[in-house]
């Protein structure tokens, strides 16, 4: 049997219940998933309550985008905790765990493709940016997540795992450029620069943690174990999603006039004058 067919067989042979057993026997890993499910549930209820008085179309759009972050998150973590979106991958020669079957929570990278664009949509609307800039940030972000998923799933070549990691980082640089260079000027003009500045800083610093964790974790050089890596992502998620979204929604609910009165190129509910 060739190395490639051995790998395919290994992945196919691990049933969902094998994966679930492995997850449930690792307390660190299992708790990192369930804590987030519980937290996302509480956050969803809180955000529904926080948004109940929002009326302007633009503020509502920010609210819906923000709401989708914990909604995607609870689905994502339920997929991971059930074993549905986790698999065993046999690492290729050259990898620190070469030949070993490593538990890969690939569902994380897949669902980031849905959650991170919502974060950027909410931030872009807050900054009252234009469609082209919003489109750039969101598509580059999706590129980052999909190529990150590829980097995690490749078992044929160690080198190609890192090539895809590099491509994902290049997409990330484009997202960072939009966040750090383009949108601050838009936010200044829209009168939302103070809250935008806080959220931008939170986003940039926390998002930088994800590729670092990937590189150090079992998918990368394997300095960190699966459970520690998973808690790392869960911790970053709590701050980058729930704390971020809470700060944004609290501000939008208290300053609806500023949001609905700004340039209104997107989500204004009507043509600009």
| Residues of this chain that bind ligand RET (CB under 6 A) | 109, 112, 115-116, 144, 148, 151, 165, 168-169, 172, 207, 210-211, 214, 237, 240-241
Longest dimension (CA), the chain: 68
| Rounded CA separation 114/145 (Å) | 9
Q: Are 140 and 178 in contact (CB under 8 A)?
A: yes
CA terminus-to-terminus distance, the chain: 68
Q: Are 139 and 100 in contact (CB under 8 A)?
A: no
Among residues 35 and 169, whose Cβ is nearest to ligand RET? 169
For residue 101, the cross-strand partners are 90
| Rounded CA separation 167/144 (Å) | 8
Among residues 79 and 148, whose Cβ is nearest to ligand RET? 148
DSSP calls for 193-262: HHHHHHHHHHHHHHHHHHHHHHHHSTTTT--S-HHHHHHHHHHHHIIIIIIHHHHHHHHHHH-HHHHHHS
Write down the residue that tokens 């290994």 correspond to. Answer: 10
CA dihedral 46, 49, 53, 58 (to 10 degrees): 40
For residue 88, the cross-strand partners are 103
Among residues 66 and 262, whose Cβ is nearest to ligand RET? 66
| Least separation in angstroms between CB 20 and ligand RET | 23
| Least separation in angstroms between CB 271 and ligand RET | 33
| Least separation in angstroms between CB 125 and ligand RET | 17
| Least separation in angstroms between CB 251 and ligand RET | 19
- Tokens matching residue 177: 């450029």
Among residues 4 and 173, whose Cβ is nearest to ligand RET? 173
| Least separation in angstroms between CB 135 and ligand RET | 19
| Least separation in angstroms between CB 110 and ligand RET | 11
Among residues 147 and 262, whose Cβ is nearest to ligand RET? 147
| Least separation in angstroms between CB 37 and ligand RET | 14
Among residues 14 and 127, whose Cβ is nearest to ligand RET? 127
- State the residue number with the nearest CB to ligand RET: 148
| Rounded CA separation 189/98 (Å) | 53
Among residues 63 and 210, whose Cβ is nearest to ligand RET? 210
């Amino acid at each position: 049997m060739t190395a490639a067919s051995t790998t395919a067989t290994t992945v196919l042979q691990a049933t969902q219940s094998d994966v679930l057993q492995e997850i449930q026997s690792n307390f660190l890993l299992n708790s990192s998933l369930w804590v987030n499910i519980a937290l996302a549930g509480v956050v969803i209820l809180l955000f529904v309550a926080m948004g109940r008085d929002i009326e302007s179309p633009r503020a509502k759009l920010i609210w819906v985008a923000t709401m989708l972050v914990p909604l995607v998150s609870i689905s994502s973590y339920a997929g991971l905790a059930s074993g549905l979106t986790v698999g065993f991958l046999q690492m290729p020669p050259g990898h620190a765990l070469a030949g070993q079957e490593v538990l890969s929570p690939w569902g994380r990278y897949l669902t980031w493709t849905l959650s991170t664009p919502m974060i950027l949509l909410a931030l872009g609307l807050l900054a009252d940016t234009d469609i082209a800039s919003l489109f750039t940030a969101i598509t580059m972000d999706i590129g980052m997540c999909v190529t990150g998923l590829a980097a995690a799933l490749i078992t044929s070549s160690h080198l190609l795992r890192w090539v895809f990691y590099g491509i994902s980082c290049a997409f990330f640089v484009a997202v960072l450029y939009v966040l750090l260079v383009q949108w601050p000027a838009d936010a200044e003009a829209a009168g939302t620069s103070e809250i935008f500045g806080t959220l931008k800083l939170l986003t940039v610093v926390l998002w930088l943690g994800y590729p670092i964790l990937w590189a150090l974790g079992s998918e990368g050089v394997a300095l960190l174990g699966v459970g520690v890596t998973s808690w790392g992502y869960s911790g970053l998620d709590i701050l980058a999603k729930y704390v971020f979204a809470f700060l944004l929604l609290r501000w939008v609910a208290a300053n609806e006039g500023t949001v609905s009165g700004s340039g209104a190129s997107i989500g204004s509910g009507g043509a600009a004058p």
